[in-house]
Chains A and B, each alone.
Chain A
Amino acid sequence: MNATVLSLDQAQRRFITGPVAVNIASRSARGVPSIARAYGCHVSADGDRITLYLPAARASALLADVRGGAPVAAVFTRPATHETLQLKGRRADIVPVDAVGRERMRAYARLFREELVAFGLEPRFLDGMLAPVELEAVALGFNPVAAFDQTPGPDAGRPLSGRA
């Protein structure tokens, strides 16, 4: 894996902080994968630090793997377009979510709900899907070292570069 930290361009930043489904994966020391859904994403002003918000109780295996120093991979997909981006990080830091982070989670829930409503998903589903934004959460931060276009199709997996 290339160790150079990427800096995401404006379009990539807009995309991953938009109405996208977010999942993050890691692995144990024995190579067993772990996964969790994230509820909201923040990108630093420089575009080289990604923060994802995760309800701790729904991500215990993943958080344990990350605390053990394992690398991460996060995938962002927009339901309306299938546009998909995967970012990789060599390691990640975990801190408790603060008031700003909680507000970002709620803003994400509103944005993502709007996107899903357009698909005709039932309120029962939407409530279930977005309820975890109120759970005790952590902020998981990492520097992206690789980005891949994963929009379904033959080009899926194409490496992307960040801002020059």
Chain B
Amino acid sequence: MNPGLRDIRACFEGAIPSAIATVAADGTPNVAYLSQVHYVDETHVALTFQFFNSTRRNILENPRALVQVVDPMTAAHYRLQLEYLRTETEGPLFEKMKAKLAGIASHTGMSKVFRLRGSDVYRVLEIAAVGGARAVPEPSRQHLLSGLRACLSGLIGCPDLARLFDMTLLGLQRHCEIAQAMLLMHDCERGCLYTVASRGYAESGIGSEIRIGEGIIGVAARERTPIRIGYAAREYLYSRAMRESFQKCGDGAVLETEIPFPGLVDSGSQLAVPLVYLDQLRGVLFVESPQEMRFSYEDEDALTVLAAQLTLTMELLAQVADQPEDGARAVKAMPRLQGRPLTLKHFAVDHSVFIDNDYLIKGVAGAILCKLVRDHLDSGRSEFTNRELRLDPALGLPDFSENLEARLILLQRRLAERCDSLRLEKTGRGRFRLRAERPLKLEEVPRR
């Protein structure tokens, strides 16, 4: 029996070059090597269109092409009879192939000559195994499925977003052997993504930001499609040194650059999977490895399932996050605090907050902290609810709920990392407490 396209996806990873034969209108055959054969679905592949060469001329004259691919483990050869259908020059398929090509080009030292002009989409008419080769699924595939199942089990019963994020990353490490992972949430007002949880990095990078369209995370977010590369390309790496100190977001707001992005310096493989709910971008799940070719098509499948489940669970938790649990709680009055005051300086222009002159956070999370501290100083309260934050017009929070919850997680974690004497504690569903160990002092710098 002939193999299906899915059975031979390992051949499309770019490890072993594929050859393509085409025929000109006058009957002259042409044979060339290909940078990339991309699996589109069970009956379609896409090839890179980089140059106006004989292959290109030929397929426009005679749409029949034959591609020979090689399994990188067994060296089994397969021949795919193809029929050219169309060329895509933008959109998810194009962006996926462009990112992958950039990785291959950078890996082979040919970044300058490899530019993707288009993704040529072909229908697969027939697949033949050369010399009767059998496609053998890699055993890791089955482990991946049980790993995914264990990951998903870990999401069940998470009481809140913070726990959900941590369990997702922990599950990847424990059950899928993916040690470097992070979750970024979408800030739709500012057109960027901010890191809300990470695992496996020397610095957590929580609060660091990436523009939509920047690097593989930003492109995966913009195109709402997973992007996976086996050779991480220089132009897709997030090096702090390479970044301008004041990058503009979509609306002209300044991107967070004080907090370095936690990515691996020597990243070999990367996979970014968007979190999408009803066509709305919620965030991105990003994993990477120092090892090249670490993530396969099956990893991409598994993480796409995980991302879908994660997004749905986020939505479910968001629906209840704004409804505080019933029953007013007996709140112990905060003891009178002693010692040198902790000085919070808030700049209204971008809501950046400095604690004793050390930068903490900016944007929505900074505005929230300022409001909490102001209320605390004005009325002595330290217990708050998500609901009142959402209703506060000064904060201008977006509609969907997990964004507020994610901002609170971000703020809570930045405080935990940067400040010993001020904490944000969850006290129940939709409720939290500002806990200070020292007296607080707020200096507000108005917008000029």
A residues in contact (CB < 8 Å) with B = 1, 21, 23-27, 31-35, 37, 55, 57-58, 70-75, 77, 79, 82, 84, 86, 88, 122, 124-129, 132, 135, 148, 150, 152-154, 156-157
B51 at the interface (CB under 8 A from A): yes
Given contacts A25-B66, A74-B31, contact A82 B21 (CB under 8 A): no
B62 at the interface (CB under 8 A from A): yes
Tell me which of B71-79, B246-254, B339-347 binds A. B71-79
Q: Across the two chains, which residue of chain A brings its CB closest to B63?
A: A31
Q: Are A73 and B77 in contact (CB under 8 A)?
A: no
B338 at the interface (CB under 8 A from A): no
CB distance from B117 to the nearest CB of A (A): 12
Q: Are B28 and A1 in contact (CB under 8 A)?
A: yes
From A27, A82, A124, A150, give the contact of B74 (CB < 8 A): A124
Q: Which B residues, 347 to 378, have Cβ-Cβ distances below 8 Å to chain A?
A: none
CB distance from A154 to the nearest CB of B (A): 6
Q: Are A35 and B68 in contact (CB under 8 A)?
A: yes
Q: Are A75 and B33 in contact (CB under 8 A)?
A: yes
Q: Are A33 and B22 in contact (CB under 8 A)?
A: yes
B446 at the interface (CB under 8 A from A): no
CB distance from A133 to the nearest CB of B (A): 12
A73 / chain B contacts, CB cutoff of 8 Å: 21, 28-31
A82 / chain B contacts, CB cutoff of 8 Å: 108, 110
Q: Are B53 and A37 in contact (CB under 8 A)?
A: no
B54 / chain A contacts, CB cutoff of 8 Å: 148, 157
Q: Are B28 and A77 in contact (CB under 8 A)?
A: no
Instruction: Give the one of A24, A25, A75, A148 with max B CB within 10 A.
Output: A25
CB distance from A43 to the nearest CB of B (A): 18
Could you pull out 29 A-B pairs where Cβ atoms are within 8 angstroms? Answer: A1-B26, A25-B19, A27-B21, A27-B23, A32-B64, A33-B22, A33-B65, A34-B21, A35-B19, A35-B66, A35-B79, A37-B19, A37-B77, A71-B29, A73-B28, A75-B32, A77-B33, A79-B17, A82-B110, A88-B29, A124-B73, A128-B71, A128-B74, A128-B75, A129-B75, A152-B113, A154-B51, A157-B53, A157-B54
Q: Across the two chains, which residue of chain B brings its CB closest to A131?
A: B75
Q: Are B19 and A75 in contact (CB under 8 A)?
A: yes
Q: Are A25 and B27 in contact (CB under 8 A)?
A: no
A150 / chain B contacts, CB cutoff of 8 Å: 32-33
Given contacts A82-B110, A153-B113, A154-B113, contact A31 B27 (CB under 8 A): yes
CB distance from A5 to the nearest CB of B (A): 16
A1 / chain B contacts, CB cutoff of 8 Å: 26, 28
Q: Are B64 and A31 in contact (CB under 8 A)?
A: yes
Q: Are A125 and B64 in contact (CB under 8 A)?
A: no
B residues in contact (CB < 8 Å) with A = 17, 19, 21-23, 26-33, 35, 51, 53-54, 62, 64-66, 68, 70-77, 79, 81, 108, 110, 113-114, 130-131
Q: Are B66 and A33 in contact (CB under 8 A)?
A: yes
**Main SS at interface, chain A:** mixed
Q: Are A31 and B110 in contact (CB under 8 A)?
A: no
Known: A57-B131, A135-B131. 16 other contacts (CB 8 A): A25-B30, A25-B66, A31-B27, A32-B64, A33-B64, A35-B21, A37-B77, A70-B29, A75-B19, A86-B32, A88-B29, A126-B75, A127-B75, A152-B33, A153-B113, A154-B113
B75 / chain A contacts, CB cutoff of 8 Å: 125-129
Distance of A132 Cα from B75 Cα, bound (Å): 11
B65 / chain A contacts, CB cutoff of 8 Å: 33
Distance of A72 Cα from B19 Cα, bound (Å): 15
Q: Across the two chains, which residue of chain A brings its CB closest to B133?
A: A128
Q: Across the two chains, which residue of chain A brings its CB closest to B65?
A: A33
Q: Across the two chains, which residue of chain B brings its CB closest to A55?
A: B131
Q: Are A122 and B64 in contact (CB under 8 A)?
A: no
Q: Are A156 and B53 in contact (CB under 8 A)?
A: yes
CB distance from B307 to the nearest CB of A (A): 32
Q: Are B23 and A33 in contact (CB under 8 A)?
A: yes
Distance of A128 Cα from B78 Cα, bound (Å): 13
B77 / chain A contacts, CB cutoff of 8 Å: 37, 58
Distance of A88 Cα from B21 Cα, bound (Å): 13
The 9 closest A-B pairs by CB, nearest first: A128-B75, A25-B21, A25-B31, A33-B21, A129-B75, A153-B113, A33-B66, A35-B21, A23-B19
Q: Are B31 and A23 in contact (CB under 8 A)?
A: yes
Given contacts A23-B68, A154-B113, contact A33 B29 (CB under 8 A): yes
B35 / chain A contacts, CB cutoff of 8 Å: 152
Distance of A127 Cα from B62 Cα, bound (Å): 37
Q: Are B31 and A71 in contact (CB under 8 A)?
A: no
Q: Are B74 and A125 in contact (CB under 8 A)?
A: yes
Q: Are B17 and A32 in contact (CB under 8 A)?
A: no
Q: Across the two chains, which residue of chain B brings its CB closest to A79?
A: B17
Distance of A156 Cα from B30 Cα, bound (Å): 13
Distance of A129 Cα from B68 Cα, bound (Å): 13
Distance of A33 Cα from B26 Cα, bound (Å): 13
Distance of A84 Cα from B53 Cα, bound (Å): 14
A71 / chain B contacts, CB cutoff of 8 Å: 27-29
